Chains A and B, each alone.
Chain A
Amino acid sequence: MPLNRQSFSSATLVRLSAYGAFVIVILVFAVEARGFLSFINIANVLQQSAIAGLLAFGLTLVVLGGGGNVVTGGIDLSVAATLGLGAAVYATLIAQGQSDLVAVGATLAVGVLVGIANGLAVVRLHILPLLATLAVGKIVSGLEFVLTQNSVVTATSPGLTWLAEIGPLDVPIMAWALVIATVALLLLVQVSPFGLRLHAVGAHPEAARAYGLPVGPLLFLSYVFSGLLSAAAGILLAALLSGSSPGASEMLLPVVLAVLLGVVFSRRLVPTIGGTFLAVLFISILGNGFQLLNISSYWVNGVEGVLILFVVAWTTLSQREAHA
């Protein structure tokens, strides 16, 4: 019984082409943009990726457990709203004279609560995740509205200042935060049984149920993680802005894009932490390179869109070739 080696090589081809596109973009910027490969710039890219990275990691868990089809499966459209509310809660508490410790605790608790709401809606009430998280996101961004009266809240605290500083090895603290979060989540998703089981739930829920996996609790946890990570990103946002300001919702679609793009970096073509990390970096590098090349920022979105369509089209086409 020979294995179907052909589709192995096609998956590899897809992955290689995704990496290829990434490398080519880096090479072009390295040649064209001065200082692109400098240590400071790379640290800078990492710092700029931190917020999107944390949001995308949360979403990765949800999409992994939901099975890839973001319309009928798992998606969390409330991540950006939670980011905004998290930053608002943190900034408001600091502005009212609370300590960083209290603010961290409250912000993360808010994130967990949002995750619990999403999780219950999806697992208990069986609402389509797209809709459940859309509605919860609406409520959450409404709460941010109520809390901040839709205006800028300025806040400074030792914690926020520290987060915006340069840390060990001349690397910004936020870049460290991203690296640490990546490693921790890599362990959780790629190494521990939790990740494998969540993946199994997403890939075939009936099978997972038949195998006695706690499908509901696993899915529930993925939403809680997503809420927690989004709120944690909110703390970083508060540090970056020295407070909070409206407009976090604009982060939603780029983050969704990053997670879906990240899929092409994995052998199984499923969301992975590593793939999402690379995709987030890829998108940050594009923005960064354009900045260095002095290209109008108006081009950034469009070029991102085209590149991503290109990568995905190439992926699907080469897969089709291999399977035809």
Chain B
Amino acid sequence: MSNVSVLALKGIYKSFGGVEALSGASLSLERGSVHGLVGQNGAGKSTLVKVLAGIHQPDGGTIEIGGHDTPHLTPHRAESLGIHFIHQDRLLAPTLTVAESLYLGAEPRWFGLPIIDRQRLRRDARDVLQRVFEIDISPDALVRDLSTAEQKIVQITRALLQNPRILVLDEPTTALVRSEAEHLFSAIDRLKAEGLSILYISHYLNEIERLCDKVTVLRNGKDVGTVSPREVPAAGIVAMMIDRKVDALFPKRTSVAGDPVLEVRGLSRDKELSDVSLTLRKGEVVGITGLVGSGTKAFARTLFGLMSPTSGEILLHGERLKPGSTVAAVARGIGLVPEDRRNHGISLDLTVRENATLASLSRFTRKLALLFAKERAAVGDFIDRLGIKTRGPEALLRNLSGGNQQKVVLSKWLIHGSDVVILDEPTVGVDVGAKVDIYREIRALADSGAAILVVSSDLLELTGISDRVAVFFRGRIVAERQASNLNQDDLLQLVTTGQTAEKIRNAAE
């Protein structure tokens, strides 16, 4: 491998309204290599990417592309220099077809006339998807009908069609299942072999280890080191990312399970759920997990009244809960921290206060009027308790980082005083620091007497914070165990096959 640097960011500074997001960050990408970029949320990764994309102008430092200093970078300039970005946000028009999305702006013409050659468009699209990802997506399918993974694949394929010299992948696997991610990884290997230089930004250190030749760790807007992930173990990289040690990631299990709070009996819904029964007790954290489509999401959504069951019943404190009504669920004391934070959890254009009290306005009302002072004080308390980093209760959610936004969602249900809190993938897109705070708060909530249900596909997280774990497979609960009796291998086996390793052995005999 040659040591020619195709891209060098040197001592980049950038601040927004007096807050320094980057304070002298440097990074050097070698030709034909895959270079990882890691760091907690708020460490400056996305700002650095946006500086590179020409979206933000740096306050100081230089950007060298192909050995040349390139001041005043614009998005257009960056692209013409061969830098292409796969952003986290889905950048595809939902009502375009796959083929149209791939070739938009460079549509194959019919004999050079301003007429789109639809046949060739379709054929080219099918071929390129087959070639790069070995995947068969109909070129006529509308983007909105694709799975998130398929959309990501279309997006990456589109970038590759532009013949990039440098490809920047920002968290490309967040929405992918393992096999899809594997497709992507082998595609990256192939592209690297063809001489493409790749900057790979990810939360997942196993991906970094699998893919990257070098990894740069950012902390507080500055690079704290560039190492080879094959030589430095993940724990070492994590240690570089945070100031404290990781051993205290999960809080100790302190609560004792009490009386049943929520009893689910024989819940069924079409093919998604069949005859699911589960009891949540006071002071207990129950974790559920399973593959995509295993029924964990449907279960959580049904409990919260977002979907109606076809049969079965939900008892809350022994009384029947009206099915299919979020209004009834919240009124009876159920709260949900949804997975899709930006669309379901918080409003970016509302303040911290307005978001946090939305589910419990009656608590702050006297004689039909809102008690603003009481409201502000209550929200202020939770800002302190959860360590929410913000200017105060009147700051817009837009100005908070992902982890802090998630804490606001959590405080919505803390203020509401819910006895049952459902958390759906509570730490997706949340940095390590905020994760620890959220885990601690979940445990504190259980200690204060609430029953908690956590839906998570992160098995380490699941066993770390739960007292009891239930595994879903094809709409049923196939195992329910105390978390302390579960090892990761068994759990993984259950999740992927619906059977324990023991059972499989017995069946084979």
- Touching in the complex, A and B, CB below 8 A? yes
Task: Give A contacts to B, CB under 8 Å.
Answer: 1, 3-4, 7-8, 187, 191-194, 196-197, 199-200, 203-204, 206-213, 267-270, 324
A203 touches B95 (CB 8 A): yes
Q: Is B142 an interface residue (CB 8 A)?
A: yes
Known A1-B135, A196-B104, A212-B79; contact A203-B145, beta-carbon cutoff 8 A: no
A213–B93 CB distance below 8 A: no
Within 8 A of A (CB), among B87-108: 87, 89, 91-96, 100, 104-105, 107
Provided the pairs A192-B116, A211-B104 are in contact, do residues A203 and B94 lie with their beta carbons within 8 angstroms?
Answer: yes
Known A7-B144, A268-B142; further 13 A-B contacts with Cβ < 8 A: A3-B138, A7-B145, A8-B145, A192-B116, A199-B95, A203-B94, A204-B93, A207-B93, A208-B93, A209-B75, A212-B105, A213-B104, A268-B95
Chain A residues within an 8 Å CB radius of B138: 3
- Is residue B207 contacting chain A, with contact meaning CB distance below 8 A? no
Which of B146-154, B252-260, B448-456 lies at the binding interface?
Answer: B146-154
Contacting residue for B93 out of A1, A8, A193, A200, CB 8 A: A200
Chain A residues in 8 Å Cβ range of B105: 197, 211-213
Tell me the bound Cα distance from A185 to B137 in angstroms: 31
A192 x B115 contact (CB < 8 A):
yes
- Can you spell out 5 A-B residue pairs with CB atoms less than 8 angstroms apart? A1-B149, A1-B150, A1-B180, A187-B115, A267-B142
A324 neighbours in B (Cβ, 8 Å): 307
Complex formed: what's the CA distance from A207 to B105 in Å?
11
Contact A193 B116 (CB under 8 A): yes
A124 CA to B323 CA, complexed, in Å: 51
Cβ 8 A contact of B107, one of A196, A207, A210, A267: A196
Given the contacts A1-B150, A204-B92, A193 and B141 also touching, CB distance less than 8 Å: no
**Given that A193-B107, A200-B96, A210-B75 are known contacts, is A3 also in contact with B115, CB under 8 Å in the complex?**
no
Contact A204 B114 (CB under 8 A): no
Which of chain B's residues has its CB closest to A68's CB?
B95
Complex Cα distance, B142 from A208, in Å, reads: 16
* B104 x A210 contact (CB < 8 A): no
Q: Which residue of B lies closest to A4 (CB)?
A: B145
Shortest distance from the beta carbon of A167 to any chain B beta carbon, whole Å: 28
Residues on A with C-beta less than 8 A from B79 are 212
Chain A, Cβ-Cβ closest to B121: A196
Is B391's CB within 8 Å of the partner chain A?
no
Q: Kindly state whether residue B76 has any CB partner on chain A within 8 Å.
A: yes
**Which residues of chain B come closer than 8 Å to A204, judged between CB atoms?**
91-94
Residues of chain B within 8 A (CB-CB) of A1 are: 135, 137, 147, 149-150, 180
8 A Cβ contacts from B345-383 to A: none
CB within 8 Å for A269 and B95 given contacts A1-B147, A193-B107, A213-B105: yes
Could you mark each residue 118-162 of chain B with 1 if its beta carbon is under 8 Å from any beta carbon of chain A, else 0?
A: 000000000000000001011001101111011000000010000
Which residues of chain A are near B150, meaning CB under 8 Å? 1, 3
For the complex, give the distance between the alpha carbons of A57 and B91 in Å: 28
Q: Is the Cβ of B104 less than 8 Å from the Cβ of A4?
A: no
Residues of chain A with a CB closer than 8 A to B135's CB: 1
How far apart are the CA atoms of A209 and B145 in the complex, in Å? 23
Q: Would you call B96 and A206 a contact (CB within 8 A)?
A: no
The CA of A304 and the CA of B454, in the complex, are separated in Å by 51
Distance of B99 from chain A, by nearest CB (Å): 11
Given A191-B116, A268-B142: A197 and B95 within 8 A (CB)?
Answer: no
A3 engages B141 (CB within 8 Å) = yes
Which residue of B85, B89, B104, B145 is within 8 Å of A197 (Cβ)?
B104
Contact A3 B95 (CB under 8 A): no
- Interface pair B93/A4, CB less than 8 Å apart: no
For B144, the chain A residues whose CB sits under 8 A away are 7
